Structure 1
Amino acid sequence: MGERLKIGISCYPTLGGSGVVATELGKLLAELGHEIHFITHSMPFRLGKYHKNIFYHEVGVTDYYVFKYPPYDLSLATKLAQVAKMEKLDLLHVHYAVPHAVCALLARQMVGSDLKVVTTLHGTDITVLAQDESLKDLIRYAINESDAVTAVSNDLIQETKRTLDIEKTIDLVYNFVDKRVYYPRDVSGLKKEFVDRGEKLLIHISNFRPVKRVCDVIDIFERVQREIPARLLLVGDGPDLARLMNVVKDKGLSERVTFCGKQDDVAQVISLADAMLLPSEKESFGLVALEAMACGVPTIGSNAGGIPELITHGETGFLAPIGDTEQMAKYAVQLLGDEELYEKVSKACLDRARNEFCNFNIMRQYEEIYYRVLGREARQTSTV
């Protein structure tokens, strides 16, 4: 049996799928006995209750008058080095090349030890930041100097290599859901508060950025409700919220669309729905679609990025070209109007989520990478 590890994790703790995945991974690793140290600017919002193997180290930023902007990157690198040295960490697992991987590499130099750095690419560091010529060399450096690099979809791996001319091996490790948390909930009583008898409920969850094409969500819903009695649940917040509310009002859909804001119990909210809408322009993986899948809720969306690696068209959902809201609406009507088809697709969602993207399988892949970079033998683990 291999050694239990001391792992430092750094991520964006308060927003996006990357922070969710990083936090959930840390919690699972702690359950197996690994010692996990979160090193972030605030408490990860999914961290939850106390666990004896989980520790939190806050990154404080120096507010020194000579700095025009607070130097978070330098503060993070310093904190990573301090914790690594004080706690004798085996490795740092950082999420995003910039700034976290760069800071981890600087911390490794400061510590002057055999500290290893594992970097996970989630998308934005490649699909957005790497498009900036001024950042390309920095991101390329972060990837090439990491001891191991993972990415959440094969599409993201190919885009990384294409954009940055990277030859380094990048491990494919998909995102995951904890099957103990994400499963179909009995919400029949609660659902009556959102829909009348015979109506279907569609849902969209995101941070309402332009890349999510939230107005396409409204267009799809408008087409669907012409054919099938339906309502729409919008969960989240973001820069396009005001525009979205205006579109809903202008289309006369205010009575059929509910804005829920941010919600903590995502599994319960998703379980209310009959289908998830995800017409994104870019999506390196599509974590919310996986969360829906694990609750038995099919996704109808675009074939952007890594979504086709998650959603098998015609089996666990339906995909159409980006912007083709007419076709997405047709798929939604087909799915929601055929009870036999819906049951078949819903069951396929549950099977795929539990078998291909379950927490234990993905966590084991990360463990194997940790032991590989440390040159140690992987230990046998039991199913969580």
Structure 2
Amino acid sequence: MAPRKQGSLEDWIHAFCRESARRGHQVDVWLHEPMLPSFVTELKASGARVDDLAEFERSGLLSMTRQLAAHDVIHLNFLAPRSSIAMAAYAAWPTQVLYTAHSDLIDKEESVVRRGLRWVVNQATMVRVHSLAGVSEHVRAKEGRRFGLHPHRSRTLFNGVDTRRFHPRARPRPGEKVELITIANLVQSKGVHHLLGALGRLRSPRGRLRVVGDGPEQQSLRVLAVQLGLQHQTEFLGLRNDVQDLLGASDICIQPALVEAFGLTVAEAMACGCAVVASRVGGIPELIQHGRTGLLVEPGDEAGFAAALECLLEDPVSRFRLGAAARQRACEAFELSSTVRRHVDWCEEAAGYAPRARVRRPPASLLSNAYLLQPETAG
């Protein structure tokens, strides 16, 4: 991914580099352009070396392999397991290779022969992978089956949220419009068209929706909002660097995705004390306990989303109760400093470091594209 903004994924890689440096390691990071200058500046300040991934790939397989072989651990992150850089990583023997799965892949209908061939290729792909991490248990189990991994070679490492940056803020007083928000890459699979359809069904006009993010579906969503008569209560904000402020001042966050590996925006909204209404899909049920830390609706069920929103629009007490429980859940399960420590532990384990006691520290600040861990004490 290209770090075009300040956000949780960007926070993650900053925190990872800082924690690695604290333990005496050197991290090299390969990223796609465009890179937000402030993000790169902060990354370099942590001691990381930063390079352009596209330029690295253009150097050719042999050159990539030589450079990667200088590292102890290669972490393939937001990269396809059979991309050119992945092939170079596998060739960089004896460097250990880690792979993180972020995607809730949709199973394709295939013939028995093609499915069998894919199974063989998938298993062969993982021969050089030390272990795989899924950003949710749903993804870990699914990718483990896909690649034929024994359970001991996979684990779940949740994405993390900086709960000091994502926290509740002053919200509108009772009687004012209820602030609704959705944050998404505006593509079909994020289901924002279903959210607009649900808003068109509401009896109450009290909610105002802000759509944060950009993507190929943005213009068609604007047209749909007009067609449904929602143009006066729907605002398209585009890509933003102040998501934490927008979430902190929102009452209800809606995540209507049709597929979702983890649901990072859900975790961010929970940390901000929002009442969350989300699809019961992928890894989201691992974040939200229905009726306690949020409300879950079947993906694509516009009537179900409308009913859940209608209930929360009319009941500020329920909104507050769900938001408070969501904040507690986020702090306990998705705090950034804790998830980053577990991730660096994983890298050290792959490099052969013996486990050692960790000193608990206050939260730090989340992930990008590919990074490589090289302990300075290694040969």
Q: TM-score band, normalised by the shorter chain?
A: 0.7 to 0.9
1:188-337 residue pairs with structure 2 within 5 A? 198-224=176-202, 226-227=203-204, 229-337=206-314
Going from structure 1 to structure 2, the CA distance change for 1:73 and 1:158 (only over 3 Å counts) comes to farther
TM-superposed CA distance for 1:329, in Å, is 1.8
TM-superposed CA distance for 1:338, in Å, is 1.8
Going from structure 1 to structure 2, the CA distance change for 1:348 and 1:78 (only over 3 Å counts) comes to farther
TM-superposed CA distance for 1:165, in Å, is 4.0
Q: Normalising by the residue count of structure 2, what TM-score does the alignment of the two structures yield?
A: 0.81
| Structure 2: stretches of 5+ with no match in the other structure | 364-379
Match of 2:97 among 117, 121, 128: 117
Match of 1:39 among 27, 30, 36: 30
Going from structure 1 to structure 2, the CA distance change for 1:340 and 1:273 (only over 3 Å counts) comes to same
| Amino acid in the other structure paired with 1:198 | E
Q: How large is the Cα RMSD of the aligned pairs? A: 3.3
Which whole-Å CA distance do the structure 1 matches of 2:185 and 2:324 have between them? 28
Q: Normalising by the residue count of structure 1, what TM-score does the alignment of the two structures yield?
A: 0.80
Residues 97-146 of structure 1: CA deviation (Å, up to 9, x unaligned): 51577624523534x4x42111100015x447998979766554443421
| Amino acid in the other structure paired with 1:118 | L
* Alpha-carbon contact 1:92-1:118 (below 8 Å) kept: yes
Q: Find out whether 1:340 has 2:313 as its counterpart.
A: no
Going from structure 1 to structure 2, the CA distance change for 1:346 and 1:59 (only over 3 Å counts) comes to closer
Partner of 2:366: none
TM-superposed CA distance for 1:254, in Å, is 0.9
TM-superposed CA distance for 1:252, in Å, is 1.4
Partner of 1:93: 75
Match of 1:26 among 16, 23, 26: 16
Match of 2:166 among 175, 179, 182: 182
Q: State which drifts further: 41-50 or 310-319.
A: 41-50
Going from structure 1 to structure 2, the CA distance change for 1:75 and 1:60 (only over 3 Å counts) comes to farther
Which whole-Å CA distance do the structure 2 matches of 1:202 and 1:371 have between them? 42
* Alpha-carbon contact 2:2-2:34 (below 8 Å) kept: no
1:59-138 residue pairs with structure 2 within 5 A? 59-61=53-55, 72=57, 75=60, 78-79=63-64, 81-82=66-67, 85=70, 89-96=71-78, 98=80, 103-104=85-86, 106-107=88-89, 109-110=91-92, 112=93, 114-123=94-103, 126-127=105-106
Q: Find out whether 1:353 has 2:343 as its counterpart.
A: no
| Amino acid in the other structure paired with 2:74 | L
TM-superposed CA distance for 1:80, in Å, is 6.3
Q: Find out whether 1:55 has 2:35 as its counterpart.
A: no
TM-superposed CA distance for 1:52, in Å, is 4.0
Q: State which drifts further: 137-146 or 49-58.
A: 137-146
SS at match of 1:202: strand
Identity of aligned residues (%): 24
Larger relative contact order, structure 1 or 2 (CA cutoff 8 Å, min sep 6): 2
Which whole-Å CA distance do the structure 1 matches of 2:67 and 2:8 have between them? 24
Going from structure 1 to structure 2, the CA distance change for 1:60 and 1:244 (only over 3 Å counts) comes to closer
Partner of 1:158: 141
* Alpha-carbon contact 1:117-1:148 (below 8 Å) kept: yes
| Structure 1: stretches of 5+ with no match in the other structure | 1-10, 63-71
Q: State which drifts further: 49-58 or 26-35.
A: 26-35
Which whole-Å CA distance do the structure 2 matches of 1:323 and 1:273 have between them? 23
SS at match of 2:161: coil
SS at match of 2:29: strand
Going from structure 1 to structure 2, the CA distance change for 1:284 and 1:320 (only over 3 Å counts) comes to same
How many residue pairs align between the two structures?
A: 352
Q: State which drifts further: 15-24 or 268-277.
A: 15-24
Residues 25-79 of structure 1: CA deviation (Å, up to 9, x unaligned): 53442563442211123365455524142220223549xxxxxxxxx47748734
* Alpha-carbon contact 1:176-1:358 (below 8 Å) kept: yes
| Amino acid in the other structure paired with 2:22 | L
Which whole-Å CA distance do the structure 2 matches of 1:228 and 1:43 have between them? 39
Which whole-Å CA distance do the structure 2 matches of 1:337 and 1:154 have between them? 34
Partner of 1:143: 126
Q: State which drifts further: 38-47 or 230-239.
A: 38-47
| Amino acid in the other structure paired with 1:98 | A
SS at match of 2:310: helix
Which whole-Å CA distance do the structure 1 matches of 2:225 and 2:206 have between them? 17
TM-superposed CA distance for 1:303, in Å, is 0.3
* Alpha-carbon contact 1:185-1:267 (below 8 Å) kept: no
